[in-house]
Structure formats: C-alpha cells, structure tokens
Structure 1
Amino acid sequence: MEEKKFDLNSLIGFVLIGAILVYMLYLQQPTPEEIEAEKQKTEQLTEEKEEPTKDESKQEVSLTEGIQEIAAVETGDSLALEKLKNRLGSFAYSGTLNSATENTTVIENDILELTVSNKGGYVTQAKLKEHTTINGDPIYLIKDGNNSFNLQFNAENRMLNTEDLFFEPNLSSSGDNKVLTMRLKASPNAFLEYRYELSPGEYMLGFSIKSQGLDGVINTSQPMYLDWNLKGYRHAKSISYENRYTRLTYEYEGDKHSKLSPAGEDDELEKKVSWMNFRQHFFSSMLLTDTPFEEVNLTSIDLVEDEEVDTVFTKQYGAKMLLTPKSGGLDYNMNMYYGPTDYKILKNYDRNLDEAMPLGWGIFGLINKYVIIPLFGFLSGFLPAGIAIIVLTILIKLVLSPVQYKQYLSQMKMKILKPELDEIKEKYKDNKMKIQQETMKLQNVAGANPLKTGCLPALLQIPVFYALFTFFPTAFDLRQKSFLWAEDLSSFDTIAEIPYIPFYGDHISLFPILASIAIFIYMQMTMGQNMQAQQQPGMPNMKFLMYLSPLFMLVFFNNYASGLSLYYFTSNLITIGIMLVIKNFILDEDKIHAKIVALKQKKPKKQGRFQRKMQEMMEQAEEQKKKKKR
C-alpha cells in the first residue's frame, strides 16, 4: 500500500488563495455613505408597500377618508370639492353640509330616549327610562356600537352604504309627537330620508325610509339591502338563564311565525317578512313593516360559551332585508320597538307581536293567553307579586280539586281490591294474559279502572302544569319583584354561594329545596296506594319516581326563576292539604268497600267500548300464542 505523506506545497497554496479572497472582499465592502443610502431606499419601499393601491382606494366609499376634503371645500378649495364628488357622486353635496360629522340628536318621551347619529342616520343609543339592570344601572338596548343599521344601494355606478354617509338632522313636533328627519342630500330638493316619530308613553315609534328626486341618481335596477345587526346586552343576574330566553322571532307570509335556535349558530332565508324581534328575554328590539320585505336573511349567533368569561353579550342578531323600490324611488313605512317583552304591551298593538313571546304552543299557549296571564295580571294589580303567585296557585288547585278527588278515589279502590288482585295473580301465575283479563274484569265491576279514574285525570293537569312552566320565566310582572328572601322572582333566589357543581350551579336556592321536600312528602303519602298497581305490566316503578321527582326539582330548578319554584312549593303544600281533607272528611274506606261488594253482587257491568277493544286484543294475542305453541 502506498504511504500518504504530508504535502507542504499544497498547504502553502491554500493559505495564499484564502488570503487573496479575504483581501478582495475587503476592497468590495460598501462605504458608510452607501449603507445609509441603501437604508433610506429600503424604508421608502416599505412605506410604499403599506399604502393602498389606487384601485383599492377607489373601491372604498367612506366619508371618513373625505373629512379633510370637506374641510378644504369649506375654505373654498375647488379641487377638493371635485375630488369629493369623484368619491360620492351627487351625495358629496350632503357631505359639504355636515362638517360636524359626529354630532347626534336625541328624540325622547317620558319612557324612552333614543340617540340618532348624523353618521348613518340610525339609532346609536336606546335607553329605557323606567327600567334598570340587576345592579341598578339604566337599561340600554343599544349602546357603545352594539347596533348597526345600513342601507346599501347603487348610485351613479358606485355602491354606497348609508352607515358611512352623513345625514342632515331636523327635530320638530307634530302635536304631542316628536319628529326627527334625517336627510342624506344630493341637492336641496333631492334626498334620501329616514323619519322617526315618537308619541308620549310609547315604546313603539314610527319609522320610514323615503327618497325624493333621486330618480337619476339611485339605480333601482340593482338590488337594495337594509342590513340590521345587534348584539344583545346582558341585563339579568344569570347570563345563561337570560340567554335561554333570548331568541330571534319573526312573522312571515302573512300570519306564520317562527324562530331561530337559541343555541349555537342558526340562519334562515324567509320570504314576505312583516316583523322581526331581536328578543333579549325581558326586552325586545323590533322592526315592523307595512310592506313585507320580499326576502330576509336572518342570523343568530350564541355568544355565551362560558358564563364566567362571556359576561357582556348574549347573542348577535342579523337581518339582511331585500328592498323593492317603487317607480318614484324608495317608500317604506315601518315601525321600531324598543321596550319590555311584556305580553300586555305587545298584545295592545294588534299586530300578532305576542307571538314573539315563548308562551308555549297549542293548548299551552291558549291557557296562558286566556287564563293565566289575565288572572295573574288582575291579582298582581292589587297584591304583591309573591302573594299573587300564592293566590293564583290556590285558585288553580281549587279548580283542579275534582280531578285530584278522582285520582285519590281510584287509589283507594285499588288499595281495597289488592287482596283479590293478589289472589288472581296467584291463581293464574303461569298465564299473564289471564291475569290481565281477570284484573280488568274486577276493576270494571268495582269502577276502579286506573286508566279512566287515575291516568286520565292526571293527564288533564299536564296542560296547566306546562303552561305555568312557560309563564313564570317570561312574566315581565315578576321582574325585580321581591318576596321573602328572594330579591327577584324572575331569577333564582340565593341563600348561599358555593363552588361550582356541574348541573347544579354555584349557589343554593331555598325555594327549590322546599318544593323538593313537599314533593317527597306528597309521594310518600300516595306511594302506599300507587304501589298496589306497581306490579301490573306497563305501570311505572313508583318507588323510583318517589325519589327521582324531588331530586329533579332540587337540581334542575336551582337555576330557574324563584317564582316558578314558589309556585311548585305552594302547589304541593295545597295538594297535600286537599288529600288530607279528602281522606279524613270526604272519603270513607269502609263505605267504598261496601259499595264495591254490592256492585260485584249485581249484574256484571257492561264493558265500555275501550275495554271491549282491549279485551278482544288480549284474546287475539292469547289465541296467537297458543297457535305458536302447537
């Protein structure tokens, strides 16, 4: 193998080449003057890159960029006026009249105060004078930019947005009414007008959009949209509970009513919409129109994901309405409503606005509208809210007491028949079908049909139960009304703060605890009779229900309106009292037993239509069973 030797000549050559390269680099380095020139060039290129292109500037139709031009126009700069006209076309005239760009105008009555901005011409603040939040602060439905109201249209080959343009205000009176006109002018006699008219003592105000002399300015062949967006402010103690009843509702195609989902994100494209309500539990922001909007894209976004973090807003609503111009331009007569979600107030407008309230569907809503609401309204007119709930409960229980009497009578009869029912089970223990047939015969003779005298009366109470379940959380008359330890009957009562428990909450409410105890006592009193029917096929496990119902009340209603828990507590106390009266003073177990014996000795009672059908079905099932065995 050839031995490798160190080559000194090669090493010297590499060193010389490296030295030459270093020297050349030294000669080519830039001077300080060249470095400074390059730095300035780089900064200039960066600034040019950050500036918008000419095309982008042309697409932005915002008067904010033209404020300096307006000021220049007022000093007589003709070049600035020409530039402004290039941006806004004919509506540059309105800009030159309104150099006080951020001014606002207040239109108000004794209960409502609205602030309207020159910029955009829409309501930027809506204050309800007679109502406050849980902290005592005034109720604002609109404030600090949570609302936008924009008319988008094409004029002289430009797409304009009224929220970027400046209107000329004029506040006047028409009798007792206050009238505010906001005009976006193209000339002294050519303008787009928003008109607001507010009457004393009203939450509803007249609102219209009209145009005059703009036939050659506004391009009516292009779509025109009215875009309304609002983020609902929190007003109650629990934002999650308030958000549960915060929902977008609307009327379309004449007299149809619908709503968007209260959770997550939802949207709907509807035709012929006549009103929409951005409902915030106890308060509403509404837009109504005499001429239904041809098409409206409605959106709702739930903003409450974490009650500890999302504490300001409940939902974000949106409605993009397609407008239909007439031959003379725009002419829409509308109304706006900023006020309580109160059934009595909404019903008085006779425009189906009460459908915006969650009173239940079908018979449940009818019971609320024609029984519960009028009765409670009458009682709360001269009684404190808590006492009114108790009196309302007493009246309802008295009306339903015959139903309860039927239930208890059926339970007592089943208790008397238990020995005979046990004999039937023992005698036909290998034949379940025969047990059912004989049981039905015995019950029919004794008049103790559980379905007729037990289940059906119980079912009759469900519509009332559900109607009240929907009434109390939405009853405006309960808002901020106190009773005993409950500060607000429209929200949960709190006797202690605790660390957060899933499904239960971070507080302890006393009324649900009392209601749970009352339910448990009631279940204990009735379990003896109900357990007699427990073993029959299809009957629920009464012992399980005895513990489930109070537990459900304790956990689920801890975060519900204390007025609702007060109702259930009072209702169960009265039920217990009625049962004791029926048991001790009305029904006599010995007399009922003697009557059953007498009925059994008589000619067998003719079966009802339903019982005959059940008998036939059981016989057919028994026959099919026998055939299978063969």
Structure 2
Amino acid sequence: MEQKKLDLNSIIGFILIFGILIWIMYQNQPSEKEIAADKAKKELVQKQQAEAQKAKAATATIVQDSTAADSTKLSALKASLGNFAYSATLPSAKENFTTIENNLLKIIVANKGGFITEVVLKNQERFQKGSKDLVSLIKNKNSELNISLLTQDNRTLASKDLYFQPTLTKAGENQILTLRLNASANEFLEYKYVLKPNNYMLDFDIHSQGLSKVLNTSKPLDLEWTMKTIRNEKSISYENRYTDIRFEYEDGKDDYTGQGKDKEENPEKVSFVAFKQHFYSSILLTKTPFEKAKLYSNDLVANEQTDTLHTKQFRANMPLAFRNGEVNYEMNWYFGPTDYATLNAYDRGLDKIIPLGWGIFGWINKFIFIPLFGFLSSFIAYGIAIIIFTIIIKIAMSPITYKSFLSQAKMKVLRPEINEIGEKFSKDPMKKQQETMKLYTKAGVNPMAGCIPALIQIPFMYASFQFFPSAFELRQKSFLWADDLSSFDQIAKLPFNIPLYGAHVSLFPILAAIAIFFYMKMTSGDQQMAAPQQEGMPDMGKIMKIMIYVSPVMMLIFFNSYGAGLSLYNFISNLITIGIMLVIKNYIIDPDKIHAQIQENKTKEPKKQGRFQQKLQQMMEEAEAQKAAQKKKK
C-alpha cells in the first residue's frame, strides 16, 4: 500500500487552525479584575468552610454545656419552686399575653402571674373629648393580682412571679380563657376568665386540683389585689374626691375607706370590693363571701395643681379558704362606668358604691331625681334637661315655699304688737315670752310654721349635692360654654393659684353666687321683720346681714372646681325661687287680708295649742314658778 505524505496544503491548514485556536484562547482569557475576583471568591469559600467546621465543633460543645447548665438550672428551680418548677418547663413559660374582647372591653392577660395587665373601655374617652385616648383602668403595670402559695415544706411562692399555661376557647359568643399554674400534668391552680358579648362584667373562677399534696392547706391562701387608679377626668381634685374603696359585707351592709392618707378597714363576710373612681370602677365580686378583708387606701395627689397620673393607691387582701383540700371560688370582675343604671341592672347591689346619700337623701335620689332626670334626658339635651328638671322640682316645692312666706307675712303683721309686749315687760323676760306665746295662740299664728317648710326643703337640697356629682350621664356632655357638665366650666385660666379657689374661673358658680346674693337680699328684710329679737338670743338681723355676703363668697370658693351641672342647677334653682317669691308676695299674699284675718281670729276662741307650743308654755311656766320660789327664799 502506498504511504500518504503531508502535502503543502495540509501543513498550511494545520497552521491556520492552530492560529485560530490561539486567537480564540487569547480573546477569552479573564481580565486581571476577573482573576482577582475569582481568587477572592475561592478564599471566601475556603473561609466559610473553615468557619462552618469551627461552628459545628463549637455547637457540639455548647450543647454539652447547655445540657449541663439546664440540668443545674432546673435543679435550682425545683429547689426554689418545688413541684411548681414543672410550670417553668412548659412552652408557655415566657413573657406572653392573651387578648379577649367584646364590643365594650378589651382585656389583656399575661402568662406570668395569670392576671389582667390591661383593660381598655372601647367606647369611653378620657377628659379631652375627641382626643381618641380611651379610658384605661389597667395599664402599664398599675395593677396586680397575687396569691401567696405556702408549700408543704413551708416555702412561700408568689403566683405573680410564676408562669401560667393559657388556653383560649369559645362557647358560642363567649370567650373562655383558662390559665393553669401546673405542679404536674394533673396538679394545678387554675384561673378561668369568661367574657360575654355586650357586657362589662366577666366571670372569674379560681380553682385548684390535686394541690393538697403540694400546698399547706391548714391555712387559707392570701389573695392580694393592688391598683394605682389612673386619672381620667379634667379636674384632679374633683375626681380624687370621689375616688375610694367601697365594699359590701355581712349580708348587704356597705361602707367605704374614706379619703386621705393611710386609710384602712377590716370588714368581715365581704361579698365585693370596689376600687371606685369618680366615673369608672374596677370591682371584684365573689359568690362565696371572703371571711374577712384588709382594705387599704392612700392618697397619691400631693399637689392638685400638678398634672398627676395616678390619684389613689388601693390594696385589698382576702383569704381563700380550702374546702376538702382544694380552693374553689366563683367570682366576677366588673370593669366599667360608675353609672347607677348600669350597675343596678346586674342586681348584685353594685349601685351601693355610688354615693347618693343615706336615709331620706338616698331615697329622694333613687325614687325621684334619678327616674325624673333619666326620663327628661332621654329625649332632650342634658343642659336643657337640668333646667326643666329644676323647674319641676321647684314647682313641686312651691306650696311649701308659699307656707314659709305666709308665715313670715303673719309674723310681720304681728310685729308691732310683739314690740309693745317687749316694751311692756322689758324687765321680765319670762313674762314677755308668756305674753308673746299667748298672742300667737290668740291670733292663730304658729311661729314655727316658717321653719318647718324650710326644713322640708333641706333633704332635697342635700340630695342634689349628691346626685349631680354622681350623674355619669353628664360626663362630657356640653352646654353653652361648658364643654363638660360633669366638670368645671372654665372660662379663664389664671396665671396663679388662689388657695381654696384654684387657678381658673368658672362662670356658672359666679351666676349662682349672684342669684343667691339677690335672693338673700330680698328675703333678709322680711325675716328680720318677722322674727322678734329674743332675750339672750343672738341678733338674727346682724347674722342675716353677714350671711348675705358670706353665702355668695362660699358659693364662689367651693363650687369653682365642682361640676358645671350642679352649679347650673343651683343658679336656675335660685332664679326660680326669686320668681316664685315675687309672685307670692305681689300677687298671692295680701298683708291687709292677713291683718284682718288675725284680728278676726283674736275675737274667736283660741285654737288648741300644738304640742310644741304646749311644751314651750309648760317650760316657761315651770321656769316662772322656780323664779318665784327663789324670790321667796331670799
């Protein structure tokens, strides 16, 4: 076979192909930047691989150390908490919160301690209406609930420092939050909250299971509830005046701790404890009364002129008794308005926390003022409702007012004859008294008739002083220049503070003071004319002259920081009284007719004296007899 040889064309072809390959390799070689980047990338990968190996080794060491540390920590925890250390090993043993809410309340409960850490009233705003700052009764750790747990080996544990396991479920529209402080899977202390729709009150049960093996059951558990009440109203002094602890005890009795520093009460058989603020309250109720309670209140407002966050410090300690080795209390929480209608609707005696007055004063408020004002305010503006309410009350009292003025008119007619008796028996005061009483009897005039109507009106006046400051419905309701009828109607801010008066000027108290001045100015003359000066008695004329100026000043001072609703009531009340008095004096009572009637009465057989007159006559006769006997001895 013939051997092939390379020809010239083949050699040239190989050279061209080789040249092309060299050119392609040259064009595609990396730049210096690309070479440096590739080098850095390789170094980074090598570094990451080295760190991964190092981390893997370190993790193994940490796991070993952690296991040993956890074992040591758990041993220490068991040593301090006993069987309750089990709760610290659960996933819930961390700072976490559960929220339950309805259309009225938003409530937040903490795992740690199992108690409520925040309560927001969704439809209630703080004192600056429109600010969208809602009323919060509990927030920023101002309240705690704690149970002191005495273990079998005499250790005392605080439930507020231990972690509860939460479980949130629903039953229809009700939200049920159960929190368990576990000693083991079957031994626990349980808090159960049940929130219903459209309700300010929620169920709250405390129940234990199997803790007779863990706790010392020979003594009751100590339940402690504390709170710093948060300021929610414009006037600090006004709100603080109506903030206190109220409670029900011994099957229906009620009382309160009072104002000031370090106030304490120790009632027994307590069925509810209310941390009452002016217009909002936090109340703990129990179906099984606490055997006793220790209630403590302290005033936190050192200076009413400063912007204070908290008003009172409250504390309540109640024992939780063991029954058959377990604790089982069915209770309730109320967080809501201090409103009579709302509280009364629960039929648990909660309306007692509203200071409506005792005895007849409370009856007037409950059965007259509250129903009447509630009816009027249901269809007209609150300011107008106060005016109409006042008119109705004053018209209803007008017959009593008429009796009082009629008595004054009769005494005024008899004034000349009384003066004659005074001059005739100026040296014999006892005889003067006897002759004056005979004149009253003969003329058919009762000197006490003018006092009795005034006494009848006093309960209504006092009831109004209790009703208006407690009327929740006036809160943040405006009228004329007053933006809130439940607080003072400031028209000017003073650059300084006047003791007792304040650092602002309220207009309604000024108007009420002016009305009182003119009323007393108009009536003082008649009263002085009607009331004869008695021997040894103070000069009523001078007293009345002083009161004409003192009463308006007192109104200005004490009512400047009171609610505008009460000042408006007093202003309208005095205006109406002045009007009624003018009508009675000018169009109803005729002095000439009264004089003629008295003269006619003198010709008739004297009417039988009343008990008071008989008693007074008897006392004077006995005094006269003693005086005569003393003269004979001399």
| TM interval, short-chain normalised | 0.7 to 0.9
Distance 1:131 1:439, change over 3 A: same
Aligned to 1:97: 90
| 8 Å contact from structure 1 (residues 153, 223) kept in 2 | no
Answer with 611-620 or 398-407: which moved more: 611-620
Alpha-carbon distance in 1 for matches of 2:460, 2:387: 16
CA contact (8 A) 1:231 1:313 kept: yes
Q: By how many angstroms is 1:76 displaced?
A: 9.5
> Are the equivalent residues in 2 in contact too, given 1:414–1:529 (CA < 8 A)?
no
Q: Which whole-Å CA distance do the structure 2 matches of 1:322 and 1:464 have between them?
A: 42
Relative to 1, partners in 2 of residues 1:72 and 1:266: Cα closer, same or farther, differing over 3 Å? farther
Q: Name which of 296, 311, 320 aligns with 2:293.
A: 296
Question: SS where residue 386 of structure 1 aligns?
Answer: helix
Give me the whole-angstrom Cα distance separating, in 1, the residues matched to 2:225 and 2:532.
Answer: 58
SS of residue in 2 equivalent to 1:140 = strand
CA distances 1:126-185 after superposition (whole Å, capped 9, x unpaired): 111111111232111111011010011122422111100001111111111111111111
Question: How much does 1:83 deviate?
Answer: 3.0
Cross-structure match for 1:560: 562
Q: Distance in 2 between matches of 1:84 and 1:604?
A: 96
Query: Are 2:612 and 1:626 aligned?
Result: no
Name stretches of at least 5 consecutive residues in structure 1 with no aligned partner: 1-70
Which residue matches 2:405? 408
SS of residue matched to 2:217: coil
**Paired residues for 1:478-489 under 5 Å:** 478-489=474-485
5 Å matches for 1:210-359? 210-309=207-306, 311-359=308-356
CA distance in 2, matches of 1:529, 1:445: 22
Q: 3-state SS of the aligned residue for 2:198?
A: coil
Give the match's secondary structure for 1:149.
strand
What are the within-5 Å matches in structure 2 for residues 493-512 of structure 1? Answer: 493-498=489-494, 499-512=496-509
How many residues of Structure 1 are paired with residues of Structure 2 in the alignment?
559
- Paired with 2:90 and 2:264, the residues of 1 have a C-alpha distance of 40
- Contact 2:221 2:320 (8 Å CA) reproduced: yes
Deviation at 1:542, TM superposition (A): 2.2
Alignment-derived partner of residue 164 in structure 2: 167
> 2:341 & 2:65 partners in 1: Cα distance?
55
Asked if residue 437 in structure 1 is aligned to residue 439 in structure 2, the reply is no
Q: CA deviation at 1:429?
A: 1.3
CA contact (8 A) 1:304 1:310 kept: no
Q: How far apart are residue 444 of structure 1 and its match?
A: 2.4
Cα deviation digits, residues 57-94 of structure 1 (max 9, x gap):
xxxxxxxxxxxxxx998999444433332222222221
Q: CA deviation at 1:623?
A: 2.3
Contact 2:488/2:560 (8 A) holds in 1:
yes
- Conservation of the 8 A alpha-carbon contact between 1:191 and 1:211: yes
Aligned to 1:592: 594
516, 520, 523: which is aligned to 1:523? Answer: 520
**Separation in 1, partners of 2:253, 2:196:** 29
- 1:122-201 to structure 2, matched below 5 A, reads 122-135=115-128, 136=131, 137-157=133-153, 158-201=155-198
Residue of 580, 583, 590 corresponding to 2:582: 580
CA contact (8 A) 1:73 1:81 kept: no
Aligned equivalents of 1:316, 1:78: Cα separation in 2? 42
Match of 2:534 in 1: 536
2:615 corresponding residue in structure 1: 613
Check 1:75–1:510 CA distance in 2 against 1; reply closer, same or farther (3 A cut).
Answer: farther
Query: What letter corresponds to residue 457 of structure 2 in structure 1?
Result: Q
1: CA distance between counterparts of 2:67 and 2:481? Answer: 65
Shift of the alpha carbon at 1:469?
A: 0.6
Letter in 2 for 1:147: S
The 8 Å contact of residues 87 and 93 in structure 2, kept in 1 or not, is answered as no
Residues of 1 paired with 2:420 and 2:489: CA distance? 52
Question: Which amino acid letter does the alignment assign opposite residue 493 of structure 1?
Answer: D
- SS at 2:490's partner residue? coil
Give the structure with higher Rg (CA). Answer: 2
Query: How far did 1:555 drift?
Result: 1.6
Q: CA deviation at 1:445?
A: 2.7
Q: Residue 263 of structure 2 contacts residue 297 of structure 2 at CA under 8 Å; is this kept in 1?
A: yes
Gaps (5+ residues) in structure 2?
A: 1-63
> Quick one: distance in 2 between partners of 1:164 and 1:444?
80
In structure 2, which of residues 570, 573, 592 is the aligned counterpart of residue 571 of structure 1? 573
Shift of 1:359: 0.7
SS of the residue aligned with 2:366? helix
Instruction: Name the counterpart of 1:364.
Output: 361
Taking structure 2 as the reference length, the TM-score comes to 0.85
Aligned partners of 1:299 and 1:319 also within 8 Å: yes
Spell out, residue by residue over 1:420-458, the C-alpha distance to the aligned partner (whole angstroms, 9 max, x if none): 11111111111222222222222223333221x200110
Aligned ranges 1:58-77 → 2 under 5 Å = 77=70
State the distance in 2 between where 1:509 and 1:439 align. 48
**3-state SS of paired residue (2:288):** strand
Contact 2:109 2:115 in 1 (8 A): yes
Aligned-pair CA distance for 1:551: 1.9
Partner of 2:17: none
Partner Cα distance (2:557, 2:532) in 1 = 27
Report whether the alignment pairs 1:475 with 2:471.
yes
Letter in 2 for 1:199: K
Question: 2:93, 2:112 within 8 Å by CA — same for their partners in 1?
Answer: no
* Amino acid in the other structure paired with 1:323: L
Structure 2: which amino acid aligns with 1:116?
V
Q: CA RMSD in A?
A: 1.8
State the secondary structure of the residue aligned to 1:258.
strand
Rounded Cα–Cα distance in structure 2 between residues aligned with 1:570 and 1:600 = 41
Q: Distance in 2 between matches of 1:610 and 1:104?
A: 71
Instruction: State the distance in 2 between where 1:599 and 1:96 align.
Output: 98
Note the alpha carbon deviations across 1:576-629, whole angstroms, 9 max, x for none: 111122122222221111111111122223222221211110111122233334
Secondary structure of 1:201's partner? coil
Name the residue aligned to 2:109: 116
- Aligned partner letter, 1:117: A
Gap change, CA 1:176 and 1:516, over 3 Å in 2: same
Matched, 1:82 2:94: no
> How many percent of aligned residue pairs carry the same amino acid?
56
- Aligned-partner SS, 1:192: strand
* In structure 2, C-alpha distance between the alignment counterparts of 1:203 and 1:265, rounded to whole Å: 30
Amino acid at match of 2:434: Q
Q: Name the stretch that deviates more: 581-590 or 315-324.
A: 581-590
Distance 2:192 2:150 in 1: 21
Q: Quickly say closer, same or farther: Cα 1:74–1:588, change in 2 above 3 A.
A: farther
Contact 2:92/2:165 (8 A) holds in 1 = no
2:117 & 2:196 partners in 1: Cα distance? 19
* Letter of the structure 2 residue corresponding to residue 401 of structure 1: S
Question: What TM-score do you get using the length of structure 1 for normalisation?
Answer: 0.86
C-alpha contact (below 8 Å) 2:169/2:175 kept by paired residues: yes
Amino acid in the other structure paired with 1:128 = L
Q: Which residue of 1 aligns with 2:58?
A: none
Q: Cα 1:74–1:508, aligned 2, differ >3 Å: closer, same or farther?
A: farther
Q: 1:72 to 1:336 in 2, by over 3 A?
A: farther
Give the superposition deviation at 1:328: 4.4
Amino acid at match of 2:185: P
Q: How does 1:376-455 map to 2 (within 5 A)?
A: 376-451=373-448, 453-455=449-451
Whole-Å separation in 2 of the counterparts to 1:72 and 1:621: 104
